[in-house]
A and B are shown apart, each in its own frame.
Chain A
Amino acid sequence: MAFNLIYKPFGERAILVEWPAVIDENILKDIVNFKNSIEKNNIKSIIELKPAYNSLLISYHTVCRNFENEVNELKNVYLASGFKDKSKCVLWKIPVCYDIVYGIDLEAISKIKSLSKEEIIKRHFKPIYTVYFIGFLPGFLYLGGLDELLHVPRKSTPRLQIEKGAVAIGGNQTGVYPAESPGGWNIIGNSPIEFFNPNMTPPCFAKAGDKISFKPITIQEFKTIKLLVEGGVYQIESEVLDD
């Protein structure tokens, strides 16, 4: 199945390609597939590609003089790329300490949802999450796949400071804060992993289309992994999946 895409100019040097306005894994696969095809075609005038839930932004080196030409070129690449519903992706296994030392909102969520803390934790580390894209902060992964029972509204007053590594729930989304930041999400744990390292190429291990799973660890394990991460010797567990 090929989608009916909409191409819009976005300023002088970018084209926004839009898929239907829903969050859907088939759309994600199609976006990643289109992105890979554009990269393979090595179109010299394109400077970078930025995927999101249902869009792909294509930025050019110079002003697009003829929007129609650029769009036709992209349409040809899209048609030639074909729809692939099977693709290889990486599953990253992320250690998370759900101890209440880090999971400072577990108690409150437990009350709101009438679920035990153990049940909340289990329902959070059980699914395999999909990485839709990276945005908001450098290295912040937009993940899909949160258990509906764990949907908790954002806090009405955001915290001025959320710790680096905080694992949190905001509405129907879950994510890990890659750096210290203000934020309104509910915090249920902390991961000792670096989600963004400006000195690495690329600076993030994960990319759009990858999978994430969370693995519960004790405070002691958290401390050990943190030391290994700081020493630059920790290897994140991963496997290649045929999705």
Chain B
Amino acid sequence: MIKVLHPGFYSTIQDSGRIGFQQYGVPYSGVMDIYSAALANHTLGNKESASVIEMTMTGATLQFYYDTYICISGADMVAKINDTNIMLNKSIKIISGDKLTFGKLKKGFRSYLAVSGGFKTETIMNSQSMYKGITTQSRISKNDELKINTNTYYIDNKHALIKVNNELYFNDKIEVFKGPEFELLSKNQQEFLFQMTFTISKDNNRMAYQLLETLDNSLEPIITSAVLPGTVQLTPSGKLIVLMRDCQTTGGYPRVLQLKESAINILAQKFTGNVINFKLV
């Protein structure tokens, strides 16, 4: 088992999420930054959808009682095994008794820990992704004992460090499509969306990122309709809300933009005070 000595600020088990249950009001969930989680899994020869630990802002302290391999991708939180720094995006050998710790957040916001074979936790509606009211546990807590799928085939791949797409952290450009209600905006409002630099407010989490700068808004709410992760809603007060992976299935605010899927990954690595610019693709 892997003993959780400290869970970090907010850590959950995530995989590729719950697909096929939107019509029952069940959120997708799943890793916020699909690119980084897939990178960690690929490095270990896991399936892309294998479950990982998503750590937000600060990392967890974990004691391993397995001989296994791990890989950490996404945000750099200065990972250490037994006080020795380890590299990101690289397969790291773990011997039973090893302790994984993290230091200060250096870049990005969400870090992914993959283990060889993936974690073995409760599967509800085809997914291990933790979500309140669906899985028994909504986050990882101190003294949890996590298990690994040990029977999964493992390729001992010693390939070189994978080249990482640093755009994830250093790019303020968020690529978007027009949302279903985009055309209801005035010319001025449309231009404002693409000329303004927007700041991420303190209200940012797995459900949504609110932006600080507001738009003059005269649009009425719409009849409740479908929303998706990456949908940008415009509230009556002119606030923009970018929905993320744990978002509700439907909403009543005009949907003005829709993030490109890769842009959701980029946004997932940003936090309070970071800035973004929307760019139409």
Question: A residues touching B (Cβ–Cβ < 8 Å)?
Answer: 8-14, 16, 18, 21-23, 47-55, 57, 59, 133-140, 142, 179, 196, 198-199, 202-204, 207-208
CB contacts (< 8 Å) of A50 on chain B: these are 22-23, 226, 249-250
Contact A21 B248, beta carbon cutoff 8 Å: no
Prevailing SS type, chain B contact patch = loop
CB contacts (< 8 Å) of B26 on chain A: these are 138, 203
Contact A140 B226, beta carbon cutoff 8 Å: no
Assembly CA distance A21 to B259 (angstroms): 25
Counting CB contacts under 8 A, is B124 at the interface?
Answer: yes
* Among A21, A22, A55, A138, residue most surrounded by chain B Cβ atoms (within 10 Å): A138
Please name the residue on chain B nearest to A137 by beta carbon: B25
Residue in A11, A23, A136 whose CB lies within 8 Å of B25? A136
Counting CB contacts under 8 A, is B166 at the interface?
Answer: no
CB contacts (< 8 Å) of A138 on chain B: these are 24-27, 133-134
Assembly CA distance A181 to B157 (angstroms): 47
Please report the number of residue pairs spanning A and B whose Cβ atoms sit closer than 8 angstroms: 108
Assembly CA distance A158 to B225 (angstroms): 22
* Among B24, B27, B177, B179, residue most surrounded by chain A Cβ atoms (within 10 Å): B24
CB contacts (< 8 Å) of A136 on chain B: these are 25, 248-250
CB contacts (< 8 Å) of A57 on chain B: these are 22, 225-226, 228
Residue in A11, A13, A199, A203 whose CB lies within 8 Å of B24? A203
Assembly CA distance A47 to B20 (angstroms): 7
Other A-B pairs, 6, CB within 8 Å; known A10-B228, A11-B261: A8-B180, A11-B259, A12-B260, A50-B249, A142-B224, A198-B134
Contact A196 B260, beta carbon cutoff 8 Å: no
CB contacts (< 8 Å) of B20 on chain A: these are 47-48
Contact B180 A16, beta carbon cutoff 8 Å: yes
Assembly CA distance A138 to B260 (angstroms): 26
Counting CB contacts under 8 A, is B194 at the interface?
Answer: no
Contact B25 A140, beta carbon cutoff 8 Å: yes
Counting CB contacts under 8 A, is B164 at the interface?
Answer: no
Counting CB contacts under 8 A, is B1 at the interface?
Answer: no
CB distance from B232 to the nearest CB of A (A): 11
Q: A-B pairs with the 3 shortest C-beta distances? A: A135-B250, A57-B226, A11-B258
Please name the residue on chain A nearest to B133 by beta carbon: A179
CB contacts (< 8 Å) of B179 on chain A: these are 10
Number of residues from B at the complex interface, CB < 8 A:
32
Residue in A10, A133, A199, A207 whose CB lies within 8 Å of B250? A133
Please name the residue on chain B nearest to A6 by beta carbon: B180
Prevailing SS type, chain A contact patch = loop
* Residue contacts A-B, CB under 8 angstroms, 27 given: A9-B177, A10-B255, A11-B228, A11-B258, A11-B259, A12-B260, A12-B261, A47-B19, A47-B20, A48-B20, A48-B21, A50-B23, A50-B226, A50-B249, A52-B223, A52-B224, A57-B22, A134-B249, A135-B248, A136-B25, A137-B25, A196-B24, A198-B135, A202-B21, A203-B24, A204-B24, A208-B23
Q: Which of B1-58 contact A (CB under 8 A)?
A: 19-27
CB contacts (< 8 Å) of B224 on chain A: these are 52-53, 135, 142
CB distance from A18 to the nearest CB of B (A): 8
Counting CB contacts under 8 A, is B196 at the interface?
Answer: no
Counting CB contacts under 8 A, is B95 at the interface?
Answer: no
Contact B226 A203, beta carbon cutoff 8 Å: no
CB contacts (< 8 Å) of A21 on chain B: these are 222-223
Counting CB contacts under 8 A, is B125 at the interface?
Answer: yes
* Among B133, B179, B222, residue most surrounded by chain A Cβ atoms (within 10 Å): B133
CB distance from A201 to the nearest CB of B (A): 8
CB distance from A7 to the nearest CB of B (A): 11
Contact A10 B226, beta carbon cutoff 8 Å: yes
CB distance from A233 to the nearest CB of B (A): 22
Contact B22 A48, beta carbon cutoff 8 Å: yes
Assembly CA distance A239 to B179 (angstroms): 41
CB distance from A14 to the nearest CB of B (A): 7
Q: Which of B193-230 contact A (CB under 8 A)?
A: 222-226, 228, 230
Assembly CA distance A39 to B24 (angstroms): 16
Assembly CA distance A98 to B237 (angstroms): 36
CB distance from A130 to the nearest CB of B (A): 15
Contact A134 B228, beta carbon cutoff 8 Å: no
Please name the residue on chain A nearest to B126 by beta carbon: A201
Assembly CA distance A9 to B226 (angstroms): 13
Given known A-B contacts A138-B133, A198-B125, A203-B125, A16 and B23 have beta carbons under 8 A apart: no
Given known A-B contacts A11-B230, A11-B258, A139 and B25 have beta carbons under 8 A apart: yes
Contact A23 B223, beta carbon cutoff 8 Å: yes
CB distance from A242 to the nearest CB of B (A): 24
Contact A202 B180, beta carbon cutoff 8 Å: no
Please name the residue on chain B nearest to A23 by beta carbon: B223
Assembly CA distance A139 to B230 (angstroms): 23
